[in-house]
Structure 1
């Protein structure tokens, strides 16, 4: 198979989750449904938090940012996949592939960092309740989100620039439904040592470092809850963390499942199927997890629906 320099590569073929023709209509309907649920579910969270002044707190500020990132996260991959199925064309240009990988890495990193910031917020609320409003003021919250964006942008830019140095085969088939960093590196025809160093270093720094911070926050939270005398107080303190802990567990477990699947079977298609869990299913379930387990958010959603039904367009409170 002929090999060209990276500047000579014009397009790749995304093979998708399955190449079975009889499954394409089912896959299209399934992914379209999950995408619409993800977008509308997370959009409702953002609107509920924005329109209800009682939800203008650090926890819901971070949650609305997470919902926005989840919408962007799924939008980097699913629309292109649906378009390919609908048009029966699997082509993605080289530039489009690099762009998709950049934004996918960017929003995946933001997901990780925002979950870490939310764990820190819960730690401050439970372990330092008297100083919580002073420490977690609006300026600090905005700064934490800004720092998360800067780190994610720089990390994604580094990964993308390192990928530009690689050469690929002239006719390259990617057995996945999007341009995923690890597979792109594995399919390259040139030396990938530097790329693997950058990729694994980034994974250790972002995913490993963030997970360590989350574990540390929750170890302190559990210790603080253990010192609460009343069972009602313990339940109330833990209930504020339950939704976030569920989302963290879902995100990291599905991500680990993708890694174990690809490492165990060495099958690209198995990895593509497993990737659906953390790229589509997790962002789709996040709004349900937070709304079903949170009384304040339920009230905010009810107020939102009343405004939609009675008053029409939503007025965003200051």
Structure 2
């Protein structure tokens, strides 16, 4: 006669402290788990979906600058090319597809205050604290050639912003005043002032290409027409605006980023009040840019966040 005895050692399954992992005896006989494959498949599918739902939009970081990055410029015809200018006067050209720097040049002494690519995409302009405007080739110099600017214009004051006309060889700078320059001349063809100490940003309208907008130090946003001898309109806000950006699909609409933590979208035909106030940032909004569709824009703030807003929505859809 055989007697089978079940015996368990308490040391195998009783925890000495509550920090120990509980040991659970399991029977791995596949006949006892008929739905294991389908259950594991469902689990894996849910995990993949959740990973996609909570995935951050971050793709890569472009490392290489030795000082803070002060300005960026997109290429007008090539999506994979990006330019960045830093506080030590260095400009880098990046290939976004390969996520690497393809060219580095020492453009200015001091901060690079603004950069813009020419409308045809063959060259780009930079302005800096050394009171100069420089034009550079997009392509790197051939082997043995010096890295020299195509053109250098010496200004009287420090330039704080720069933008290029969408169709012609004309660009605009801002500093103590807003100047419109012809690429073939070393002096501005037009200068606009409206009793303001300085301007922080200037932008051409991508649709109505003769119109400009600028942000001034007296908390105002000033609109200009290059065909007119004087500025067109002015709207004064409670706090100062840092940048302004036109909607690329709706000619009369522009959005400004303000120090009061909000962004404001205006119709230039009715400047008495904004169409939409975009809230959610918890510190001063420093910069913004529209998507090519004009349906939404991205903003960057001193609160260390980047937010994506619909053009007619008061709150961001992504942070």
TM value normalised by structure 2? 0.20
Choose between structure 1 and 2 for higher RCO, CA contacts under 8 A separated by at least 6 residues.
Answer: 1
TM value normalised by structure 1? 0.20
Structure of higher CA gyration radius: 2
Greater fraction helix: 1
